[in-house]
Structure 1
Amino acid sequence: MSVRKDRINIAVARDVAEDLAKTAESMGYTQFALANQILGVGLALIKEGFSVQQIRDIATFYKVMTELETVPLPGRLLDKMVVEMFKMNKETALAVWCEAGKMIAGYIKAVFGTLENAAYFARYLANVVPARRFEIKAEGGEFTIDTIGVGYSIESVEVTASAVRCMLEDLGYEIVDIVTAPGILRVKARRR
């Protein structure tokens, strides 16, 4: 015995309806089933306090973190690992983080084209990095990053500075100024 759910018609834009039909067919769903799932998930998130834009932002952030194969770690654990690596071999620690910066530069080039196009992504990062302040600006050939509360040790700040420096250099920027102190990183650069 099947239980048929009550149905009601709702109006959507033609292009949305056509896209729903194509997507449902490609996934092996009926339009009713796919629309129900999408609306159910979306409404549940909105009831939890998320806006439609935040839902889109979370999905974008998840996509980028997955593509970069990011592994979430507690900040204090990462900091301890960095400090120990720094003690064992400072040059290797800086080089490893420099390579990470170059990897991010490659991703920015491939996905966003330019640093300016990727700068909007900073708002996603600001929500997940363990920093009290995390501001990035990239416009008119100028780049600045201003963070307070990034890392617990000077070693963490130094390796992060190495990653940012290498990322910027790989994207065609020249470093104008770098300020590091425990928990503080400020970088200014300009396009070459």
Structure 2
Amino acid sequence: MSAKKDRVNIAVARELAEELANTAESMGFTQFALANQILSVGLTLIKEGFSVQQIKDIATFYKVMTELETVPVPGRLLDKMVVEMSKLNKEVALGVWCEAGKMLAGYIKAVFGTLENATYFARYLANVVPARRFEIKAEGGEFVLDTIGVGYSMESVEVTASAVKCMLEDLGYEIADLVTAPGILRVKARRR
């Protein structure tokens, strides 16, 4: 059977067809080849149980994680590294995590503009951080982070608190309340 007989026309919005044509041309593909690849991947993921929104969310999460040069590390390994680093020099450990918080603040400013605009990303983080509860709210100039199960040691909670504190300060927030306990981190802050 010829390739022409294997084709079926489908209707899409004009803007989408134009975007497909432009994208295919820029990638050196035909519209047929690019549309087939996109549909094949999308349909495979849907058959595996993902919704269209979840597919978009996964792609967004992957983009942010690669832009931040995030390396997946098992939670218990990371916790042991933090504990050992804290034993050697607690101030250095806190400082390194503070720098990470400031880096995240810079990313939020560059990509999202404001912390409020970035909070939708919290749902992605909730799926990868080793925490039983991971809730973030930022609206009306107030920020609340409520986590349970963040780290296995007090040292992990302390360095995470350092990162959050430095991130918030870099974004123009002032800490109103900070609670740390083994596995628990709660932060409330207000925009200055």
The normalised TM-score by structure 2 is 0.98
For residues 79 and 108 of structure 1, the distance between their equivalents in structure 2, rounded to whole angstroms, comes to: 25
What residue number does 2:112 align with? 112
* Residue of structure 2 equivalent to 1:21: 21
Structure 1 runs not aligned, ≥5 long: none
Q: Moved runs in structure 1, 4+ residues, more than 3 A?
A: none
1:130 Cα shift? 1.1
Question: Which residue is 2:78 aligned to?
Answer: 78
Q: Distance in 1 between matches of 2:137 and 2:63?
A: 22
Of all paired residues, the percent bearing the same amino acid is 87
1:38 alignment partner in structure 2: 38
Q: Deviations over 1:16-36 (max 9, x none)?
A: 000000100111101000000
Structure 1 residue 185 corresponds to structure 2 residue 178: no
Rounded Cα–Cα distance in structure 1 between residues aligned with 2:163 and 2:113: 19
**1:118-175 CA distance string (max 9 Å, x none):** 0110001011111110000000000000000110000000000000000000000000
The count of residues paired between Structure 1 and Structure 2 equals 191
Gaps of 5+ in 2: none
| Superposed displacement of residue 3, structure 1 | 6.3
Structure 1 residues 21-63: Cα deviation after superposition (integer angstroms, max 9, x where no partner): 0100111101000000000000000011111000000000000
Distance 1:21 1:164 in 2: 44
Cα distance change, pair 3–76 in 1 and its aligned pair in 2 (3 A): farther
1:76-155 equivalences in 2 (<5 Å): 76-155=76-155
Matches of 2:127 and 2:12 in 1, distance apart? 32
Looking at structure 2, the residues matched to 118 and 30 of structure 1 have their Cα atoms a distance apart, in angstroms, of 36
Please give the secondary structure, in 2, of the residue aligned with 1:12. Answer: coil
Equivalent residue number for residue 68 of structure 1:
68
Query: What TM-score do you get using the length of structure 1 for normalisation?
Result: 0.98
* In 1: Cα distance, 2:34 partner to 2:188 partner: 47
Instruction: Give CA-to-partner distance per residue, 1:45-89, whole Å, 9 cap, x none.
Output: 001111100000000000000000000000000000000000000
